[in-house]
Amino acid sequence: MSFVEYGETIKDGDTAIVFLGHESMFPVKVQHGTVTQTKYGVIRHSTDLIGKKYGSKVTCSKGGWVFILHPTPELWTMNLPHRTQILYSTDISIITMMLELKPGSIVCESGTGSGSLSHALIRTVAPTGHLYTVEFHQQRAEKAREEFREHGVEHLVTVTNQDVCKNGFGVSNIADAVFLDIPSPWEAIGHAKSALKAEGGRICSFSPCIEQVQRTCLAMEEYGFTEINTLEILLRVYNVRTISLQIPDLGKAAEDNSSTGFDSSKPSHQASPCANLQQGTVQFKSGVPLREVVGHTGYLTFATKT
């Protein structure tokens, strides 16, 4: 199993996603002799998982069933154990596009955090690219190394435990792109410039506060970066609801008027023949936005080295 190469069958030691529903799923490490408890009953790894195809429908001990999915960066983002705040698919998608990443790209990242963006970057630059990721916290760096090894991508990533603001990324003049997700990104702009290739490299800084963005933009200008721009990606979720509306029987009224020779231009003291008819209703699906949306995650500032 690898997050960048699809495997047909589930093997001992794989990381798989147990899918109970769109709002309920979790990762599990497949191990011979192990069982996993769900609300539908027990899943026995030896008999229910190992050797089965990914995407299989597995019946649990209580008679309920789940699907076992092959892991992807998108599914991992939704199910990973949180060691820090993470980036979600909304921001990750625009980051990979605006940094102009492709297979073979060299990327520097700080900090690694929970590895949400890291997995997406690795999948994008595989099979010939490489990710150099720096994490200040030693335990988080060690955990990230362990996860990359379990997920079969350790040959595509180098994890370094150091302060990027003081010591940089450990590489020079080779990166196609640099990503910063640290409290004071303006202190690392000089190191980012040193890590980027001679010309045309792209940089992105993620910050939740606009004051951080302002200081970062000033530092980028000071170090000669151009095409500096800041984006805010807002997510708007819609709920699908069934709505009932009354519909007047206008067709019946028009038919009665024409058949009786009723002249609408002449006043009449008699009520319309369909005035007392009960109106019908029609049901249809409608998309309704949520009244309260927590849309802001952070500001993304992009620039180019010249």
Helix (H) or strand (E) holding 225, with range, is strand 225-232
Q: Is 110 annotated as a binding residue?
A: no
Q: Is 181 annotated as a binding residue?
A: yes
What whole-number distance in Å separates Cα of residue 300 and Cα of residue 306?
20
What whole-number distance in Å separates Cα of residue 65 and Cα of residue 39?
10
Q: Is 218 annotated as a binding residue?
A: no
Indicate left, alpha or beta for 204 from its phi (over 0: left) and psi (-120 to 50: alpha).
beta
What are the beta bridge partners of residue 173? none
Amino acid at the residue 151: H
CB 77 within 8 A of CB 89: yes
Q: Is 2 annotated as a binding residue?
A: no
Q: Is 290 annotated as a binding residue?
A: no
Handedness of CA 211, 209, 110, 73 (dihedral sign): negative
Q: Is 115 annotated as a binding residue?
A: yes
Q: Which residues of 105-138 are buried (b: 16+ CB within 10 A; e: fewer)?
A: bbbbbbbbbbbbbbbbbbbbbbeebbbbbbbbee
Q: Is 265 annotated as a binding residue?
A: no
Return binding residues for S-adenosyl-L-methionine: 114-117, 135, 163, 181
Which residue ranges are tagged as binding site?
114-117, 135, 163, 181
